Amino acid sequence: MILCSACLAGVRCRYDGGSKPLQEIGDLLAEGRLIPVCPEQLGGLPTPRCRMSFRGGGGDAVWRGKAQVVDEEGRDRTEQMKRGAEEALRLARRTGARRAILKEKSPSCGCTLITVDGSLRQGSGVCASLLSREGIVVEGR
């Protein structure tokens, strides 16, 4: 089994209420090999929701208590992001998933981060960081 960002499977769960479906993901879903997850929704955030970005570092820094995830209105969403990542990890463990395909440029999922000042840099999202730390191979799309 493979965990996958639900938006890549066509679920309208992105911050703007949209999705980013990919054909390869649809094929894996049709084969019954995917577990679609939206860590932001699993953490209790609504859809649609404000855009979010990192302050002080990426996903690894969030888990060390050195960074935050804030929305564009300045609200700290770190706890919801961590809770959603923990739920995604729980699903991975329950299903035996050893791989995850996650959406890029997402503060929860992605491997390319968008910081508060709008710049892009390498790092990992809150969920990607936790999953990889727990031995799950994470790929960005």
Contact criterion met (CB below 8 Å) for 139 and 102: yes
Confidence at residue 130, expressed as pLDDT on a 0 to 100 scale: 93
CB atoms within 10 A of CB 43: 23
Confidence at residue 123, expressed as pLDDT on a 0 to 100 scale: 61
Confidence at residue 112, expressed as pLDDT on a 0 to 100 scale: 56
14: helix, strand or coil: coil
DSSP 125: -
Residue 106 CA, distance from chain mean position: 6
Q: Which residues contact 102 (CB under 8 A, 6 or more apart)?
A: 3, 4, 5, 109, 110, 111, 125, 127, 128, 138, 139, 140, 141
Domain extent at residue 82 = 2-140
- Which residues in the chain land under pLDDT 50? 114, 120
Split into its structural domains, the chain has a count of 1
Q: Which residues contact 73 (CB under 8 A, 6 or more apart)?
A: 50
Confidence at residue 111, expressed as pLDDT on a 0 to 100 scale: 63
